[in-house]
């Protein structure tokens, strides 16, 4: 009930504000909601967009950033965007399945991107654009892809061999990619804002995320072991409500496009550094033992998880999977 009344109130307020904005030159308000902490690549990217958007439009636009699921949790935020209660989001690419855009789960496949260069080829190329097309009939327009690097695994026991995952309850995003099951673990879908407490109380034993999320959510304080596996990628799609975006004055939309391009360059430039800093900070905190896989262990993790690609091919699309493999194979990975 709370979510619905909040939604109605926000939509009503949104209509009222748009109406008065038109008459009294009130700024056009963009509510940018997201689920992570401000001190993350996405959090800083959102603030950068706010700064640039307000600057470039000379104050015609006001961006209100709501981090840490303050307004909406994972699932609710996509519904709120479609209803126009918020205007902008940057959800993880692994969370578009519930929206009916299951092709995006291809980004959540283990070891799908051998390196960052391979990922950039996909997100800045035809495939990236084609995937955004799939959102248009859902009332959503895709603006950009933001990076948050590769995931590491954590739990309260060493995770060296794949057998170490047997029977562990592992938190995952709302994606049907079940690499945890391939490792013999039990995948538990859970909203990001609930993960810390679930780890602390033992509702789940472990999880996967890039260091910047693990550190800023203090997961390292409740996880004694982490393995630097880079087994999967976490990136975002910056999306807007299509009706809102198409309804903007053309000059304002052009200025916002420019602001988004610059904020995207910024967010994708700082992502690696933010994750490196977070990893160092967690190591310095001394609560979590970080482990680097041996060559053989890394090979056995890959061998255990790669069959997931075949399992997911019909869901994400065999053609799409093949075209991503062609793109990533052609990428120059050092």
Q: Give contact residues for ligand LMR (rule: CB under 6 A).
A: 35-36, 92, 148, 173, 192, 209, 213, 234
In angstroms, rounded to a whole number, what is the distance separating the alpha carbons of residues 231 and 151?
A: 6
- State the Cα–Cα distance between residues 227 and 40, nearest whole angstrom: 20
| Beta strand 169-172 pairing with 186-189 | parallel
- Give 154's contacts (C-beta < 8 A, 6+ positions apart): 206, 207, 208, 209, 214, 219, 220, 223, 225, 226, 227, 288
How far is the CA of 42 from the CAs of 213, 264, 265, 266, 297, in angstroms? 10, 10, 12, 10, 31
Element (H, E) at 15: helix 2-24
User: Looking at beta carbons only, is 213 or 223 nearer to ligand LMR?
Assistant: 213
Identity of the residue, 223 or 255, whose beta carbon is nearer to ligand LMR in the bound complex:
223
| Nearest distance in Å: CB 258, ligand LMR | 25
Q: Residue 209 or 229: which CB sits closer to ligand LMR?
A: 209
Give me the least distance between CB of 35 and ligand LMR, in Å please.
Answer: 5
Q: Residue 196 or 290: which CB sits closer to ligand LMR? A: 196
* Closer residue to ligand LMR (CB): 209 or 227: 209
Task: Give me the least distance between CB of 102 and ligand LMR, in Å please.
Answer: 16
> Minimal distance in Å, beta carbon 315 to ligand LMR?
19
Q: CA–CA distance from 252 to each of 156, 255, 257 (Å)? A: 50, 5, 9
Nearer to ligand LMR, 28 or 271 (CB): 271
Query: Angle at Cα 125 formed by Cα 123 and Cα 127, nearest 5°?
Result: 75
The closest residue (CB) to ligand LMR is 92
């Amino acid at each position: 009930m709370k979510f619905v009344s909040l939604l109605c109130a926000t939509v009503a307020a949104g209509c009222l504000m748009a109406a008065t904005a038109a008459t009294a030159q009130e700024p056009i308000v963009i509510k940018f909601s997201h689920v992570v902490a401000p001190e993350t690549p996405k959090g800083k990217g959102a603030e950068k967009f706010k700064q640039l958007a307000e600057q470039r439009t000379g104050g015609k636009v006001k961006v209100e950033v709501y981090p840490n699921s303050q307004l909406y949790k994972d699932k609710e935020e996509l519904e709120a965007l479609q209803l126009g209660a918020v205007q902008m989001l940057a959800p993880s690419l692994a969370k578009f399945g519930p929206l009916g855009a299951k092709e995006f789960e291809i980004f959540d496949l283990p070891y799908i991107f051998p390196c960052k260069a391979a990922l950039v080829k996909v997100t800045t190329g035809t495939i990236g654009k084609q995937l955004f097309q799939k959102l248009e009939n859902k009332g959503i327009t895709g603006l950009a892809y933001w990076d948050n690097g590769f995931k590491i695994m954590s739990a309260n026991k060493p995770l060296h061999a794949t057998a170490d995952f047997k029977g562990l309850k592992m938190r995952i995003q709302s994606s049907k990619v079940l690499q945890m099951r391939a490792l013999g673990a039990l995948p538990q879908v859970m909203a990001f804002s609930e993960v810390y407490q679930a780890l602390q109380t033992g509702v789940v034993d472990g999880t996967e995320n890039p260091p910047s999320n693990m550190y800023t959510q203090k997961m390292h304080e409740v996880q004694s072991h982490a393995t630097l596996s880079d087994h999967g990628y976490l990136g975002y799609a910056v999306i807007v409500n299509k009706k809102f975006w198409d309804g903007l004055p053309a000059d304002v939309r052009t200025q916002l496009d420019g602001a988004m391009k610059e904020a995207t360059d910024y967010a994708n430039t700082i992502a690696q550094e933010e994750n490196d800093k977070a990893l160092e900070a967690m190591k310095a905190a001394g609560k979590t033992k970080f482990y680097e896989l041996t060559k053989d262990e890394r090979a056995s993790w890959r061998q255990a998880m790669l069959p997931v690609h075949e399992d997911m091919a019909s869901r994400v699309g065999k053609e799409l999977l093949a075209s991503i493999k062609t793109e990533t194979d052609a990428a120059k990975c050092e």
